[in-house]
Amino acid sequence: MFSSTSVAEAGYKMKTHSGAKKRWRSLPSGTAFKRGKAGHSHMNVSKSPVRKNRLSATAYSNATQTHKLKKLLLPYGSG
């Protein structure tokens, strides 16, 4: 009743999430991801120096985000 062919052989492929692909980068260890924070590029006159420093810092993924990002960014072979 059900076909024994794999998903790739059947012609269906998962696609990488384009939004995540543009924002996140994998760390060399492969155990986490990093991204830059939004809102640091323009209209900085009205922002406090503390806020601008916080926005310039790198954001790292936590365990839950890493699990989801592996599915979004590496749908095949991520495990």
Is 79 among the domain residues? no
Q: How many CA atoms lie within 13 A of 11 on its CB side?
A: 0
Is 68 among the domain residues? yes
- CATH code, 42: 4.10.410.60
Q: Which two tokens stand for residue 35?
A: 């991204």
> Hey, is 48 helix, strand or coil?
coil
* Cβ pair 33, 26 in contact under 8 A: yes
Question: What pTM was computed for the model?
Answer: 0.72
Determine the structural domain holding residue 53 and report its residue range. 15-73
| Residue carrying the six token digits 């543009």 | 22
> Hey, is 8 helix, strand or coil?
helix
pLDDT value at 3 more than 60? no
pLDDT value at 77 more than 80? no
Is 21 among the domain residues? yes
pLDDT tens for each residue of 23-67: 999 998 888 999 999 999 999 999 999 999 999 999 999 999 999
